[in-house]
Structure 1
């Protein structure tokens, strides 16, 4: 399946798309955020919303209808709230695009435009949600109003696999063991980030660390740091800063300047030092979350090895009734 074919079909059946809703749960919701961010920044014609699936069900936007496109992602294809959200959108007359790794799942339903993507080591960025969704957004913008960054985005996605491969080697050599050390020394810490990358700040906390490592931590938006949270900064408190490479970087830099002088436990992962300088500055914001996701995976693996804690272990999820 190709993004341009999906958008061509959507527009042929629905005419104009005036709003896009990105709907999912957990890690899948995190993967959708950069595309929502891109639609918000780049489109003058189409509004965008980003919703955890249950909230979409209980607080459904009144605009949802024929001229809406809902992009729902469920890795398993059977996430109850996400599937229910897709069905609701379909019943309201919206174009519904579902993304799943699981062929034959509830998300892979003929009522929807179902995109079954591959998953695992070696799968190109272009073929997973962090690559698919920016192209869905780009194709929609291009078709309805023109998009002068389209070619740069396509070129950037093509570069991400090489960037990520090199970054994995670098992060393991430079930060992996140190991160594991800091996790041993700190039962709790803070993670900062901004822009589209904030999705991976959030994801590093709630998925990689809290879910997969049972590590207590908290995510903070770099732009919000000085509006309350910085009062907790002091020597002995560990901060992990994800520094972006696009316009939101100014917020990360401001946080970094303060952290350097107010804590002695600081780790910085700077996208410009991990390959993003090779991507056109105009589209970096929409692609570097894929880099940070890959770095999150490597760092959680380093912690998992140190603590002998497999990221596959759960004590509640899929085990208890909830």
Structure 2
């Protein structure tokens, strides 16, 4: 069985038993988290919104969930809260969902975290700063765990017909990522030298890959490299943001495999005409075309997210600005 899938199946079967006792059963699935943890649920949310006909799907920042709780949170709601340790706002979100009668699942890196202890059920995933260097762990993280839950929900509640293809895709991902990781090593060195002095970035992408766009912008560039970065959906690029494009603006385009690739192709054509300081990372060329086309697009970010960390980490090393550096985070109350 796929790494981590047995844990997901065991816990989610217990969740299903709980909903079977409740009138109306499961109707709403809400993913709640902050920052990179919220971004990590985006592929799962995208998959469920794309494929589910009956389930209502949403995603909320933890603090917004606490202060502007959606009315759907109740006995027919599954609230999945993600925090590697115990982000205070996310723990409070779990408690809020519990009080309103929802079924809560905590996704966390540690069995003894407050996230795990506060939720009715919990699933642990692997977390370490250097996780992206080990291809065997490619889907044993928060993003991969949420995606496994989403495929399980589709199978159990929506009669999803491509579950087996999805499991095969999970099995292939370590090999695909391992080859991609080695393939881009020289490219990361050149990228680091070419872009080390840029202080303003745009990152573009579409579909599931928007998870990597968001994470690159807010986590890798702004949080870890202290440079301004704007996350832009490829389809929205032509509705405002492209007016800032010129030959000096640093732009990173993350191209998807799958149905939304047309949006990225269109952005690439424009960049080739009017930009000049842009870089393209293409999931299809990095091996995602090996997956069954019925499910491949849902794995875009599992591949691109760690690849972009490889690139940006290399840039950080040249800049002598480690990815672990923070000005404010974890240093005082805020």
Q: Distance in 1 between matches of 2:196 and 2:146?
A: 37
Aligned partner of 2:152 in structure 1 is 139
How many equivalent residue pairs? Answer: 320
Aligned with 2:193 (options 176, 181, 184): 181
The structure 1 segments of at least 4 consecutive aligned residues displaced by more than 6 Å after TM superposition are none
Following the alignment from structure 1 to structure 2, what is the Cα–Cα distance between the partners of residues 60 and 131?
26
Superposition deviation, residue 110 in structure 1: 6.4
Gaps of 5+ in 2: 1-5
Q: State yes or no: 1:276 paired with 2:291.
A: no
Q: CA deviation at 1:63?
A: 0.9
> Is this contact kept in 2: 1:182–1:238, CA < 8 A?
no
DSSP 3-state at the match of 1:22: strand
CA distance, structure 2, for counterparts of residue 69 and residue 133 of structure 1: 13
2:30 maps to what in 1?
A: 21
Query: What is the aligned partner in structure 1 of residue 89 from structure 2?
Result: 81
Give CA-to-partner distance per residue, 1:149-196, whole Å, 9 cap, x none.
10111111111111111111122222x123222323422121101111
Question: TM-score, structure 2 length as denominator?
Answer: 0.92
CA–CA separation in structure 2 for the residues paired with 1:210 and 1:268 = 20
Partner of residue 101, structure 1: 109
Supply the distance in 2 between the matched residues of 1:158 and 1:137 (Cα, whole angstroms): 17
Aligned counterpart in structure 1 of residue 278 of structure 2, from 257, 266, 269: 266
Conservation of the 8 A alpha-carbon contact between 1:126 and 1:158: no
Partner residue of 1:33 out of 42, 52, 56 = 42
8 Å Cα contact 2:43/2:208 also seen in 1: yes
Which one of the candidate residues 7, 13, 26 is aligned to 1:8? 13
Deviation at 1:111, TM superposition (A): 4.5
Aligned to 2:227: 215
RMSD: 1.5
Long gaps (5+) in structure 1: none
Q: Which secondary structure state, in structure 1, belongs to the residue aligned with residue 332 of structure 2?
A: coil
Distance in 2, matches of 1:110 and 1:216, equals 35
- Classify the secondary structure of the residue corresponding to 1:274: coil
* Distance across 1 between alignment mates of 2:139 and 2:223: 26
Aligned residues of 2:126 and 2:137 also touching (Cα < 8 A): no
Task: Output the CA distance in 1 between the equivalents of 2:61 and 2:118.
Answer: 23
Tell me, yes or no, if structure 1 residue 227 matches structure 2 residue 236: no
Q: TM-score, structure 1 length as denominator?
A: 0.95
Is 2:161 aligned against 1:148?
yes
Q: Which residue of 1 aligns with 2:123?
A: 115
1:262 and 1:130 map into 2 onto residues whose CA distance is 35
CA distance in 1, matches of 2:248, 2:122: 49
Q: 1:294 to 1:111 in 2, by over 3 A?
A: closer
Q: CA deviation at 1:12?
A: 1.2
For 2:208, the equivalent position in structure 1 comes to 196
